[in-house]
Structure 1
């Protein structure tokens, strides 16, 4: 009981407080003027309650330009073995032994990118893991705003009257449809960069009239 009370009284981590206090851009803002942060995680599994992040990649996008100078890739010291997930992301326990602490990387993320709209391909999964990671590290999670390039692509195909076939919404398939270069799959930074390219391709047809509200609607 005393431990529970102590947890309830624990002050909000500074980075969480700063992120929460920073307003998001207006939904009426033109998408071309917004600041996006494209994220990708490699994981030990798909259950945010028991699985963990083993690498994080991110790429900022400002005014329809990818800011490669600020792109980041971190390996994360996982509290559990990567197990069979190594088959997908190629990371093994010995590579993560001296990797970054998750709390340090999250502190950088929340401190540097407060007020950004986050982007991911299949963002529901990434947001769930990001929230779970913040709860584990800080005891609290801020609210995030996510754009989902997978959902946007699904809506685009439906509007074109196309049947969405198996695997059609996977990142490599989406890149191919937009005439974008394919990269190695399941590498956090390369997937974040590919998703940033896909986002820019999806924004192009909307032109200057597309707003964040339009993107939020398409991301549902």
Structure 2
């Protein structure tokens, strides 16, 4: 409880600064915006009862992936990861020196105001992040997400492509664009794959496509 009270004022100021940062106008060319592709690995699929065990992120600036700023964090969960380690490969022994979730969230706010966020099937990642911000600090920052899965669904529907089972899974989407496919369920690798997919989707778009167009496609 005391740790939460100590951290809340600092993060509250960070949330205010994050929310005050101006995002590009809706008519801004999508190719000129800044993005942060991110992925979470969790102990389950329910944000209210499960926990984040790792976070990976990869910034994109001027259509270039910024590998030097890519980060991967193991997160200390309040309980054992249990059998979920089968899926994400993170075991309790790996988390001895893991980061505090509140510290990682604070770093995200401090470094990426003015960015749009990208995730593949963002609903799940977004739910965990929003609940974590609310749970630890009592306030959720204004984060605008673009969902590469929804963009792919929109474009395949528009082209009349019949989707086979699992067609929208990240590895299958990457394979369609002839992009490298890495092992799934590693937060940094999946964030990197998501960044590659979004840049490929942008490349296939018309030159004047706006950030609002991309947001609309990802809904």
Fold equivalence (TM over 0.5): yes
Which residue matches 1:190? 189
Which residue matches 1:179? 178
Which residue matches 2:99? 100
Cα distance between partner residues in 1 of 2:27 and 2:123: 23
- 1:3-42 correspondence runs (5 A): 13-42=12-41
Aligned-pair distance for 1:159?
A: 1.2
Cα distance per residue 1:161-194 (max 9 Å; x no partner): 1122211100000001010011011100010001
Give 3-state SS (helix, strand or coil) of 2:97's partner: coil
Aligned-pair distance for 1:109?
A: 0.2
Cα distance per residue 1:52-99 (max 9 Å; x no partner): 110000000011110101000000011121122111100011111220
Cα distance between partner residues in 2 of 1:15 and 1:46: 28
Cα distance per residue 1:132-185 (max 9 Å; x no partner): 111122111112100000000001111111122211100000001010011011
Which residue matches 1:145? 144
- TM-score norm. by structure 1 comes to 0.93
Which residue matches 2:169? 170
Cα distance between partner residues in 1 of 2:111 and 2:137: 17
In structure 1, the gaps of 5 or more residues are: none
In structure 2, the gaps of 5 or more residues are: none
Runs of 4+ in 1 over 4 A off after TM superposition: none
CA RMSD of aligned residues (A): 1.5
Which residue matches 2:59? 60
May I ask how many residue pairs the two structures share in their alignment? 213
Aligned-pair distance for 1:206?
A: 1.4
Which residue matches 2:118? 119
Cα distance between partner residues in 2 of 1:81 and 1:18: 35
Cα distance between partner residues in 2 of 1:44 and 1:71: 23
Which residue matches 1:87? 86
Which residue matches 1:70? 69
Cα distance per residue 1:191-216 (max 9 Å; x no partner): 00011000010001214211101101
- TM-score norm. by structure 2 comes to 0.93
Cα distance per residue 1:2-36 (max 9 Å; x no partner): x9xxx9xx756222121111122211110110000
Q: Which moved more, 1:16-25 or 1:192-201?
A: 16-25
